[in-house]
Protein backbone atom coordinates (compact mmCIF):
# COMPACT_ATOMS: atom_id res chain seq x y z
CA UNK A 1 0.00 0.00 0.00
CA UNK A 2 1.43 3.35 -1.00
CA UNK A 3 0.64 6.70 0.59
CA UNK A 4 1.87 9.82 -1.13
CA UNK A 5 4.18 11.82 1.10
CA UNK A 6 2.42 10.96 4.34
CA UNK A 7 3.75 11.35 7.86
CA UNK A 8 3.23 8.43 10.16
CA UNK A 9 0.66 8.69 12.96
CA UNK A 10 1.78 10.29 16.18
CA UNK A 11 2.95 7.84 18.80
CA UNK A 12 0.38 7.77 21.58
CA UNK A 13 2.11 8.58 24.81
CA UNK A 14 0.14 8.11 28.02
CA UNK A 15 1.78 10.12 30.79
CA UNK A 16 3.55 7.58 32.98
CA UNK A 17 2.62 7.56 36.62
CA UNK A 18 5.39 8.17 39.09
CA UNK A 19 5.34 5.66 41.95
CA UNK A 20 5.79 6.76 45.52
CA UNK A 21 9.31 5.33 45.61
CA UNK A 22 10.54 7.56 42.74
CA UNK A 23 10.99 7.22 38.98
CA UNK A 24 12.31 3.67 38.82
CA UNK A 25 9.08 2.23 37.34
CA UNK A 26 8.29 5.15 35.06
CA UNK A 27 7.96 4.10 31.42
CA UNK A 28 10.50 5.87 29.23
CA UNK A 29 9.46 7.24 25.85
CA UNK A 30 11.46 8.51 22.90
CA UNK A 31 10.60 11.18 20.32
CA UNK A 32 11.00 12.54 17.54
CA UNK A 33 12.32 10.62 14.51
CA UNK A 34 12.37 11.62 10.84
CA UNK A 35 13.24 9.71 7.67
CA UNK A 36 13.67 11.47 4.32
CA UNK A 37 14.86 10.20 0.99
CA UNK A 38 17.81 11.69 -0.85
CA UNK A 39 19.17 10.90 -4.27
CA UNK A 40 21.34 8.01 -3.06
CA UNK A 41 19.09 6.49 -0.41
CA UNK A 42 17.45 7.45 2.89
CA UNK A 43 18.52 9.66 5.81
CA UNK A 44 17.25 8.96 9.32
CA UNK A 45 17.54 11.57 12.08
CA UNK A 46 16.35 11.54 15.67
CA UNK A 47 16.64 13.71 18.72
CA UNK A 48 18.36 12.20 21.76
CA UNK A 49 15.81 12.96 24.49
CA UNK A 50 13.98 10.19 26.36
CA UNK A 51 11.18 11.20 28.70
CA UNK A 52 9.28 9.58 31.53
CA UNK A 53 6.05 11.45 32.14
CA UNK A 54 7.09 15.08 32.55
CA UNK A 55 10.70 14.22 33.43
CA UNK A 56 13.69 14.11 31.10
CA UNK A 57 15.17 10.70 31.85
CA UNK A 58 18.07 10.57 29.40
CA UNK A 59 19.56 12.88 26.77
CA UNK A 60 21.70 10.45 24.74
CA UNK A 61 19.09 7.96 23.59
CA UNK A 62 19.70 6.00 20.37
CA UNK A 63 16.49 6.11 18.36
CA UNK A 64 17.76 5.02 14.93
CA UNK A 65 18.90 1.39 15.03
CA UNK A 66 20.10 -1.06 12.38
CA UNK A 67 18.24 -4.34 11.91
CA UNK A 68 20.65 -5.66 9.28
CA UNK A 69 23.12 -4.26 6.76
CA UNK A 70 20.41 -2.52 4.70
CA UNK A 71 17.56 -1.88 7.14
CA UNK A 72 17.11 0.86 9.75
CA UNK A 73 14.31 1.30 12.26
CA UNK A 74 13.64 4.70 13.80
CA UNK A 75 11.63 4.37 17.00
CA UNK A 76 9.16 6.47 18.93
CA UNK A 77 7.02 5.59 21.91
CA UNK A 78 7.97 3.12 24.63
CA UNK A 79 11.74 2.81 24.66
CA UNK A 80 11.88 -0.56 26.43
CA UNK A 81 9.31 -2.14 24.10
CA UNK A 82 11.14 -0.71 21.06
CA UNK A 83 14.41 -2.27 22.22
CA UNK A 84 12.64 -5.60 22.67
CA UNK A 85 11.28 -5.37 19.11
CA UNK A 86 14.70 -4.47 17.69
CA UNK A 87 16.36 -7.43 19.44
CA UNK A 88 13.67 -9.81 18.19
CA UNK A 89 13.86 -8.60 14.58
CA UNK A 90 17.66 -8.78 14.51
CA UNK A 91 17.48 -12.37 15.73
CA UNK A 92 14.65 -13.29 13.33
CA UNK A 93 16.44 -11.88 10.29
CA UNK A 94 19.72 -13.58 11.26
CA UNK A 95 18.06 -16.91 12.02
CA UNK A 96 16.22 -16.92 8.70
CA UNK A 97 19.43 -16.17 6.80
CA UNK A 98 21.34 -18.96 8.52
CA UNK A 99 18.57 -21.54 8.32
CA UNK A 100 17.42 -20.79 4.77
CA UNK A 101 20.84 -19.83 3.40
CA UNK A 102 19.40 -16.64 1.95
CA UNK A 103 18.33 -13.27 3.23
CA UNK A 104 14.73 -12.67 4.19
CA UNK A 105 12.81 -10.78 1.51
CA UNK A 106 11.81 -7.16 2.08
CA UNK A 107 8.16 -8.17 2.28
CA UNK A 108 9.09 -10.78 4.88
CA UNK A 109 10.91 -8.20 7.00
CA UNK A 110 7.99 -5.78 6.79
CA UNK A 111 5.56 -8.55 7.71
CA UNK A 112 7.65 -9.55 10.74
CA UNK A 113 7.48 -6.00 12.06
CA UNK A 114 3.72 -5.90 11.37
CA UNK A 115 3.21 -9.08 13.38
CA UNK A 116 5.18 -7.74 16.34
CA UNK A 117 3.21 -4.49 16.41
CA UNK A 118 -0.12 -6.32 15.99
CA UNK A 119 0.83 -8.66 18.84
CA UNK A 120 1.36 -5.63 21.04
CA UNK A 121 -2.01 -4.07 20.10
CA UNK A 122 -3.83 -4.90 23.35
CA UNK A 123 -1.11 -3.28 25.46
CA UNK A 124 -1.01 -0.32 23.07
CA UNK A 125 -4.78 0.18 23.37
CA UNK A 126 -4.31 0.49 27.13
CA UNK A 127 -1.57 3.07 26.62
CA UNK A 128 1.20 0.69 27.68
CA UNK A 129 4.19 -0.12 25.50
CA UNK A 130 3.10 1.84 22.44
CA UNK A 131 5.70 1.79 19.65
CA UNK A 132 5.30 3.57 16.30
CA UNK A 133 8.34 2.84 14.12
CA UNK A 134 9.56 4.15 10.78
CA UNK A 135 11.42 1.49 8.82
CA UNK A 136 13.89 2.48 6.09
CA UNK A 137 15.69 0.21 3.69
CA UNK A 138 17.69 0.28 0.50
CA UNK A 139 16.00 -1.95 -2.05
CA UNK A 140 18.90 -3.38 -4.03
CA UNK A 141 16.56 -4.88 -6.63
CA UNK A 142 15.01 -1.50 -7.40
CA UNK A 143 18.22 0.39 -6.53
CA UNK A 144 16.39 2.95 -4.39
CA UNK A 145 15.74 3.87 -0.80
CA UNK A 146 12.29 3.13 0.59
CA UNK A 147 10.46 4.30 3.73
CA UNK A 148 7.62 2.50 5.51
CA UNK A 149 5.59 3.50 8.54
CA UNK A 150 3.05 1.67 10.68
CA UNK A 151 -0.04 2.37 12.71
CA UNK A 152 -0.70 0.98 16.18
CA UNK A 153 -2.39 -2.14 14.78
CA UNK A 154 0.50 -3.18 12.54
CA UNK A 155 -0.81 -1.91 9.21
CA UNK A 156 2.05 -0.66 7.05
CA UNK A 157 2.24 2.12 4.50
CA UNK A 158 4.95 3.17 2.10
CA UNK A 159 5.72 6.86 1.79
CA UNK A 160 6.98 8.50 -1.38
CA UNK A 161 9.39 11.03 0.08
CA UNK A 162 9.45 11.17 3.90
CA UNK A 163 8.10 9.82 7.16
CA UNK A 164 8.10 10.84 10.81
CA UNK A 165 6.88 9.55 14.15
CA UNK A 166 6.67 10.72 17.72
CA UNK A 167 5.00 13.54 19.58
CA UNK A 168 6.89 16.19 17.62
CA UNK A 169 5.85 14.82 14.22
CA UNK A 170 2.37 16.36 14.36
CA UNK A 171 3.69 19.89 14.82
CA UNK A 172 5.90 19.71 11.72
CA UNK A 173 3.48 17.93 9.41
CA UNK A 174 2.86 20.94 7.20
CA UNK A 175 6.55 21.85 7.04
CA UNK A 176 7.31 18.73 5.02
CA UNK A 177 4.87 19.77 2.31
CA UNK A 178 6.23 23.32 2.36
CA UNK A 179 9.76 22.05 1.70
CA UNK A 180 8.76 19.72 -1.12
CA UNK A 181 6.61 22.40 -2.79
CA UNK A 182 9.18 25.17 -2.54
CA UNK A 183 12.48 23.29 -2.84
CA UNK A 184 11.54 20.12 -4.65
CA UNK A 185 11.32 16.48 -3.52
CA UNK A 186 13.76 15.23 -0.91
CA UNK A 187 14.60 12.35 -3.24
CA UNK A 188 16.24 14.78 -5.68
CA UNK A 189 18.49 16.41 -3.06
CA UNK A 190 22.10 15.50 -2.30
CA UNK A 191 22.91 14.09 1.12
CA UNK A 192 23.90 17.27 2.93
CA UNK A 193 20.98 19.29 1.53
CA UNK A 194 18.42 16.68 2.56
CA UNK A 195 20.17 16.24 5.92
CA UNK A 196 20.04 19.97 6.65
CA UNK A 197 16.32 20.06 5.85
CA UNK A 198 15.70 17.07 8.14
CA UNK A 199 17.70 18.63 10.97
CA UNK A 200 15.81 21.90 10.53
CA UNK A 201 12.51 20.02 10.84
CA UNK A 202 13.81 18.27 13.96
CA UNK A 203 14.80 21.60 15.49
CA UNK A 204 11.34 23.02 14.75
CA UNK A 205 9.81 19.98 16.45
CA UNK A 206 12.03 20.62 19.48
CA UNK A 207 10.81 24.22 19.64
CA UNK A 208 7.16 23.14 19.56
CA UNK A 209 7.22 19.88 21.52
CA UNK A 210 8.56 19.63 25.06
CA UNK A 211 9.32 15.91 24.71
CA UNK A 212 11.69 16.50 21.78
CA UNK A 213 15.24 17.54 22.55
CA UNK A 214 16.98 20.30 20.61
CA UNK A 215 20.55 20.35 19.31
CA UNK A 216 21.82 22.91 21.79
CA UNK A 217 23.01 20.35 24.34
CA UNK A 218 23.49 17.06 22.45
CA UNK A 219 23.80 16.61 18.69
CA UNK A 220 20.97 14.65 17.04
CA UNK A 221 21.61 11.18 15.70
CA UNK A 222 21.81 10.80 11.91
CA UNK A 223 22.35 7.70 9.77
CA UNK A 224 22.19 7.10 6.02
CA UNK A 225 21.35 3.95 4.14
CA UNK A 226 22.39 3.54 0.51
CA UNK A 227 23.79 0.97 -1.90
CA UNK A 228 26.94 0.97 0.25
CA UNK A 229 24.93 0.04 3.36
CA UNK A 230 24.38 1.94 6.61
CA UNK A 231 26.68 4.77 7.64
CA UNK A 232 26.73 7.20 10.56
CA UNK A 233 26.89 10.86 9.60
CA UNK A 234 30.15 12.17 11.03
CA UNK A 235 30.11 14.56 13.97
CA UNK A 236 31.88 17.33 12.05
CA UNK A 237 29.16 17.42 9.37
CA UNK A 238 26.39 17.35 11.97
CA UNK A 239 28.02 20.15 13.97
CA UNK A 240 28.48 22.31 10.87
CA UNK A 241 24.89 21.90 9.72
CA UNK A 242 23.47 22.48 13.21
CA UNK A 243 25.52 25.70 13.50
CA UNK A 244 24.08 26.87 10.18
CA UNK A 245 20.57 26.17 11.45
CA UNK A 246 20.74 27.53 15.02
CA UNK A 247 23.93 29.61 14.94
CA UNK A 248 22.26 33.00 14.79
CA UNK A 249 21.63 34.90 17.99
CA UNK A 250 17.96 35.03 18.97
CA UNK A 251 16.16 38.25 18.17
CA UNK A 252 15.35 40.33 21.25
CA UNK A 253 11.80 41.57 20.91
CA UNK A 254 10.70 44.61 22.90
CA UNK A 255 7.13 44.47 24.11
CA UNK A 256 4.90 47.38 25.08
CA UNK A 257 3.45 46.54 28.47
CA UNK A 258 1.56 49.80 28.80
CA UNK A 259 -2.10 50.40 28.10
Tell me which residue range forms the domain holding 62. Answer: 2-246
Please indicate, yes or no, if residue 230 is contained in any of the structural domains.
Answer: yes
Distance CA 94, CA 59 (A): 31
**C-alpha distance from residue 132 to each of 15, 216, 236 (Å):** 16, 26, 30
Q: Please indicate, yes or no, if residue 257 is contained in any of the structural domains.
A: no
* Arithmetic mean of pLDDT, 59-84: 93
At 124 the pLDDT is 65
The enclosing domain of 154 has a CATH number of: 3.60.20.10
Does residue 89 form part of some domain? Answer: yes
d(CA 13, CA 27): 10
pLDDT at 129: 75
The model carries a pTM of 0.84
CA distance 229 to 70: 5
Q: How confident is the model at residue 44 (pLDDT cuts 50, 70, 90)?
A: very high
Does some domain include residue 177?
A: yes
> Is the pLDDT reported for residue 188 higher than 60?
yes
Digit-coded pLDDT (tens) for 80-107: 889 999 999 999 999 999 999 999 999 9
Is residue 2's pLDDT more than 70?
A: no
- Residue 26: pLDDT band with limits 50, 70, 90: low
pLDDT per residue over 230-249, tens digit each? 999 999 999 999 999 987 54
Q: What is the pLDDT of residue 246?
A: 86
**Residue 132 forms part of a structural domain:** yes
- Residues of the chain with pLDDT > 70, as a percent, come to 83
31 is catalytic: yes
Does 251 map to a domain?
Answer: no
CA–CA gap between residue 237 and residue 79 (Å, rounded): 27
Residue 236: per-residue pLDDT: 94
Instruction: Check: CB of residue 152 under 8 Å from CB of residue 116.
Output: no
What is the rounded average pLDDT of the residues 57-67? Answer: 92
What is the pLDDT, as a whole number, of residue 234?
95
At 119 the pLDDT is 87
Q: Is residue 117 part of a domain?
A: yes
Q: Exactly one of 26, 31, 180, 200 is catalytic; which is it?
A: 31
Number of domains in the chain: 1
How far CA 1 is from CA of 110, 112, 237, in Å, comes to: 12, 16, 35
Residue 253 lies in a domain: no
Average pLDDT, the chain: 85
Amino acid sequence: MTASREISPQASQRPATTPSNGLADTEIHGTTVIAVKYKDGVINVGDRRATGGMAIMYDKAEKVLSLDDYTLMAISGSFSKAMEIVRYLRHAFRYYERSQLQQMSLDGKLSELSKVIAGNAMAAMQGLGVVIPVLSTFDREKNEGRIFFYDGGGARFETVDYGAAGSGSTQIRGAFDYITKTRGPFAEMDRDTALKEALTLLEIAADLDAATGGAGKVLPLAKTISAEGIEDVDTETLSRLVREIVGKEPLLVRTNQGF
